[in-house]
Amino acid sequence: MARITLDHLAHAYKPDPRRAEDYALKEINHVWNQGGAYALLGPSGCGKTTLLNIISGLVRPTRGRVRFDDLDVTDLPTEARNIAQVFQFPVVYDTMTVRENLAFPLKNRHVPRDRTARRVEEIAHLLDLTRVLDRKASNLTADMKQKISLGRGLVRPDVAAILFDEPLTVIDPHLKWQLRSTLKEIHRALDITMIYVTHDQTEALTFADKVVVMHDGAVVQTGTPDELFERPAHTFVGHFIGSPGMNILPCRVEGASAFIGSERVALKRPYRPLVAERVELGIRPEFVQLQPKGVGLPVHVRRIDDIGRARIARVEMNGHPLAASVPDGISIEGDEASLVLDPRHVHIYANGHLVTDESAGGHAA
Ligand SMILES: Nc1ncnc2c1ncn2[C@@H]1O[C@H](COP(=O)(O)OP(=O)(O)OP(=O)(O)O)[C@@H](O)[C@H]1O
């Protein structure tokens, strides 16, 4: 079990990198706490696997150091790092029983038999594998085999960390939701540092205490699921997390007002003049309500989607598309309506970055 420190870490696959674009992983500095559950979340190509491979020792970083507690592991091979890994596709020995598969990492390290037997039972119970413990792995489904892979990753109690690389890819969709929450419970039960790579926001938000959102080779925000929802630090986070994602609209800010074209939106505090190429207003659909015409900002309604837990209106304001919540009991006639924005949840972004009280351009109310 270890605290993981990423110290001025950066990686370029091409030799002699000069510009920021040459780096698959731009410089990051992070400390991940012992026992934490972290998810690396971002779209394909954003650098998640590169970062995971640097932590596991498969890739040596161009710059910076990796430490497990106080031990600098940057130059150590994977085998010397004391980590467990679970990959996208099952890694099991078909000729062995499930019990033998789970016991394998412990047997390899000469853990006494009775301790191995107890640990295998414990992990099998957590993953609901008890009833198949004495069956040959070859006869099991892909789902079951991936559960065995998870079990093999989880079985060693002394690992510095467990790294998961999109581990639910082959899992049947019906089982996915179940395994997502099982993994969360397992993390609570085992108190091991876990790092989970995924492009799926639901997986990341269910599993992790802290989600590390990556975009274009850089970490754009590290936060709890609530923080990412409530205060996206970057428009990318706002857009990428949430379903539908945050509404992002070009605007002009004057004191405690933002103007979208000629329409005024009240802000929760005044802002200093912003010097930026791009100034945008962000608000999640959950905090924008569709109302009848004349109550708020005028919009045209394009359609209303019923997504089960809520109704979402797709509207257009000054040529910009927006998503808004439709409160129960509201009926809209024709395609004209209005929007009411909750000022507590309106954020202002300068060149993509959240303008905070501390950052240039903002000040406390
Ligand atoms: N071995 C390699 N050689 C050269 N470029 C690479 C190599 N591996 C990854 N890249 C590039 O580095 C960037 C980051 O890739 P990486 O695999 O880390 O992203 P990712 O977020 O894990 O994406 P995915 O989910 O598709 O694997 C991409 O532009 C990719 O093309």
Atom 25 of ligand 1 has which residue's CA nearest to it? Answer: 44
Domain 247-354, CATH number (from 1.10.10.10, 3.90.1010.10, 3.40.50.300, 2.40.50.140): 2.40.50.140
Atom 6 of ligand 1 has which residue's CA nearest to it? Answer: 13
Q: What is the CATH number of domain 4-240?
A: 3.40.50.300
Spatial distance between the Cα atoms of 68 and 364, rounded to a whole number of angstroms: 39
pLDDT at 318 exceeding the cut of 80: yes
Q: Which residues make beta-bridge pairs with 362?
A: 271
Ligand 1 and 155: CB distance under 6 A? no
Best mutation site among 23, 25, 26, 48 for ligand 1 pocket (most ligand atoms within 8 Å of CB) = 48
Ligand 1 and 47: CB distance under 6 A? yes
Kindly report, residue by residue over 31-41, the tens digit of the pLDDT: 999 999 999 99
User: Measured in angstroms, how far is the CA atom of residue 42 from the centroid of ligand 1?
Assistant: 12
Kindly report, residue by residue over 171-220, the tens digit of the pLDDT: 988 888 888 888 998 999 888 999 999 999 999 999 999 999 999 999 99
pLDDT at 161 exceeding the cut of 70: yes
Q: What is the pTM of this model?
A: 0.92
Q: What is the pLDDT of residue 4?
A: 97
Residues 335-340: what's their mean pLDDT? 96
Q: What is the ipTM of this complex?
A: 0.97
Q: Hey, where are the domains in the chain? A: 4-240, 247-354
Q: What is the pLDDT of residue 16?
A: 93
10 Å CB burial of residue 347 (0-12, 13-18, 19+) is buried
Residue with tokens 């932590």: 55
Q: What is the pLDDT of residue 358?
A: 60
User: Measured in angstroms, how far is the CA atom of residue 172 from the centroid of ligand 1?
Assistant: 26
pLDDT at 365 exceeding the cut of 50: no
Percentage of the chain exceeding pLDDT 70: 98
Best mutation site among 11, 13, 56 for ligand 1 pocket (most ligand atoms within 8 Å of CB) = 13
Per-residue HEC secondary structure of the chain comes to CCCEEEEEEEECCCCCCCCHHHCCEEEEEEEECCCCEEEEECCCCCCHHHHHHHHHCCCCCCEEEEEECCEECCCCCHHHHCEEEECCCCCCCCCCEHHHHHHHHHHHCCCCHHHHHHHHHHHHHHCCCHHHCCCEHHHCCHHHHHHHHHHHHHCCCCCCEEEEECCCCCCCHHHHHHHHHHHHHHHHHHCCCEEEEECCHHHHHHHCCEEEEEECCEEEEEECHHHHHHCCCEHHHHHHCCCCCCEEEECEEEEEEEEECCEEEEEEEEECCCCCCCEEEEECHHHEEEEECCCCEEEEEEEEEECCCCEEEEEEECCEEEEEECCCCCCCCCCEEEEEECHHHCEEEECCEECCCCCCCECCC
Kindly report, residue by residue over 248-262, the tens digit of the pLDDT: 999 999 999 999 999
Spatial distance between the Cα atoms of 342 and 278, rounded to a whole number of angstroms: 23
Order across the sheet with 63-68: list the strands: 25-32, 4-11, 63-68, 71-72
Q: What is the pLDDT of residue 211?
A: 97
Best mutation site among 49, 60, 195 for ligand 1 pocket (most ligand atoms within 8 Å of CB) = 49
Average pLDDT along the chain: 93
pLDDT at 49 exceeding the cut of 80: yes
Q: What is the pLDDT of residue 292?
A: 94
Ligand 1 and 50: CB distance under 6 A? yes
Q: What is the pLDDT of residue 362?
A: 43
pLDDT at 273 exceeding the cut of 70: yes
Q: What is the pLDDT of residue 170?
A: 87
